A and B are shown apart, each in its own frame.
Chain A
Amino acid sequence: MTTVDRPTMVSDETPMEKTVLLLSDEPMGKELLPELDKLPVHVIEEPYAALKHLAETQYDAVILTAPRTEFAGLGRAIRRLSGEAALLAFARADDQAALRESCDELIDRYCLFPPTRGEVSSLVREFGPPGATEEPLKALKATELEALMLATQNITALENAVIDLFASHEVEVRWVDADSEPKPLLKCPANPGRVLALGADQELTDSADAMLDNVFQMLPGLMRIAGRCESLHRLAITDHLTGAYNRRYFYHLTSHVLSQSQEESFRATLLLYDIDNFKQYNDQYGHAAGDDILRDTARLMKQVCREQDIVARIGGDEFAVLFWDNEPRTPDSEPIRDILAVADRFRHAVETHHFPALGPEGKGTLTISGGLASFPDNGRTCLELLQQADQALRDAKAAGKNAIRLLGQT
């Protein structure tokens, strides 16, 4: 058993330091110990010795390293003896998934090994977000701080702002997979699988080193803001029922794509479709079944679309899809014919799909009708294309439903 005790320094002015039991064998324990900074830490390698010790001494935090035999059982035993202590687990990326699966609710915080500078002591001290300490931000200039704050509209923008910040100190850094970087500078608080790494042949300058400490302190909070902004943005642009974009965002995105199509001769075709006799399904099977049908048809549409195509629910049972690609239009190209084939494939998929909400007898009874309008022949704006596609849709309905029609098709 290896035991390293550091005395607890307590005074009236300073808050009492957290006490830590580190249950780890070589070499992980050896690497973690310096990271515990000046905390009073007790290190024990043998699990039973640790359990006996825990039965007599209470700790604020217990740090476990993995993998180890019967990790979950050991975790439960520690909980039994030291229920109030924060239980932190350090594991390499390869072992994390299995650990989380076996003891997700047992561990208070999973951390990637190796830890980054200050991470362990910060976790223990605060048992909150890593990096959240009360050290003053000495190395960040006001303009740099502002740049980070402004980048909190989403996580990618914030990650890029961190890269720019280091670049301004003439140090190249990049965000990489944790697996590929043995000596990360810091971890992405929003995604533990991503870490910040020095670029090839780069070294931290003194100013970048001081700045890294400040970024480490601030990043968890900034990432939380960025994550919330992303969530709010997602809520603002999507239809909550189907997960497709909402009408407003469809207008916004489509207008953007059409203006690019105008400049660079992209091909674009708009499909407007709805479910034939949808009201009857709602009346017969109930609104919950109607919701399921809408979700299922949206999912089927996403399956036949490409990633860049824009799928939106723009009304009750009415959906619009903008198919577009950056292949230039040529005089003899007929993109609308290609899209007609895609849309008809979707129509057929709906017709043959088994909708659980309709029961076994419902298979083959639910159909859709749609109308297509092509940019720029049938319209140059989103509104114009929607109007023209709506005309084609009405033609399809008038012709007996369960059909996709081109504008003016007889």
Chain B
Amino acid sequence: MAAHRVVILSPQGRSLCPSLGMMLPNVDCEFVTSGYEAAAELLALSEATTRALVIDFQALNDHHLPLLNIAREQGVELMGVGAFPPGLSSEHLSGMRLLGVKDLPKAIESLDLSPPAAPSAGSDVQLTPKGQDAQFAPEAAQEQEGKVL
């Protein structure tokens, strides 16, 4: 079993990026179609450590904004793909890496997949936006996906 897992939330399920599992044999890619299932995956006890939650923005509406907080509380990296849904504020996007679908494998591969250090009690998760390595490049994503990020 892979020691690390990534939860991928998309209404398209595995079709969002069918080859992801094959490209990342050391990562357990868990595809879900509902925000509730994504939350359950983050909250459930698992042998593998969940390192990232990839959210296809099509799956994110007002009902599912608490999912972002759960991910942050769990110290799980947030990655967003697709066009912004209406009503999403910069506060919601805080700390989220914005990507094109084609960039996903590389972005996941670039995660620190070494065993995570236990967070110190009471310490807040760092929610600052990523710097140089972040794919927050709307123009680039537009080129790849034809969508406006």
Point out residues on A near B: beta carbons under 8 Å: 46-49, 51-52, 54-55, 69-70, 72-74, 76-78, 80-81
Mostly, the B contact residues are helix
Q: Are B36 and A77 in contact (CB under 8 A)?
A: yes
Residues 27-39 of B, flagged 1 when their CB comes within 8 A of A and 0 if not, give 0000011111101
Residues 17-55 of B, flagged 1 when their CB comes within 8 A of A and 0 if not, give 000000000000000111111011101100000000000
What is the total of A-B residue contacts with beta carbons within 8 Å?
A: 53
Q: Are A72 and B34 in contact (CB under 8 A)?
A: yes
Which residues on A sit within 8 Å (CB–CB) of B35?
70, 73
Could you write out 22 A-B pairs with CB less than 8 Å apart?
Answer: A46-B66, A48-B39, A48-B64, A51-B43, A52-B43, A55-B40, A55-B44, A69-B63, A72-B34, A73-B32, A73-B36, A74-B34, A74-B36, A76-B36, A76-B40, A77-B36, A77-B39, A80-B40, A80-B41, A80-B44, A81-B43, A81-B44
Contacts A69-B63, A70-B35, A72-B34 hold; do A77 and B70 have CB atoms under 8 A apart?
no
Point out residues on B near A: beta carbons under 8 Å: 32-37, 39-41, 43-44, 63-64, 66-67, 70
Q: Are A48 and B70 in contact (CB under 8 A)?
A: yes
Beta-carbon nearest neighbor of B41 in chain A: A80
The distance in angstroms between the C-alpha atoms of A92 and B86, with both chains bound, is 32
Q: Are B36 and A47 in contact (CB under 8 A)?
A: yes
Q: Which among B32, B33, B37, B44 has the greatest number of chain A C-beta atoms within 10 A?
A: B37
Which residues on B sit within 8 Å (CB–CB) of A52?
39, 43, 70
Given contact pairs A55-B40, A73-B37, A80-B40, a sample of 10 additional A-B residue pairs in the complex whose CB atoms are under 8 Å apart: A48-B64, A49-B66, A51-B70, A69-B63, A73-B32, A76-B36, A77-B37, A80-B41, A80-B44, A81-B44
Q: Are A76 and B37 in contact (CB under 8 A)?
A: yes
Q: Are B67 and A48 in contact (CB under 8 A)?
A: yes
Q: Are A77 and B34 in contact (CB under 8 A)?
A: yes
Q: Are A73 and B44 in contact (CB under 8 A)?
A: no
Beta-carbon nearest neighbor of A80 in chain B: B40
Of the residues A46, A49, A54, A80, contact of B37 by C-beta under 8 Å? A80
Which residues on B sit within 8 Å (CB–CB) of A49?
66
Within the complex, the shortest CB–CB distance from B62 to chain A, in Å, comes to: 9
The distance in angstroms between the C-alpha atoms of A114 and B67, with both chains bound, is 31
Q: Are B36 and A70 in contact (CB under 8 A)?
A: yes
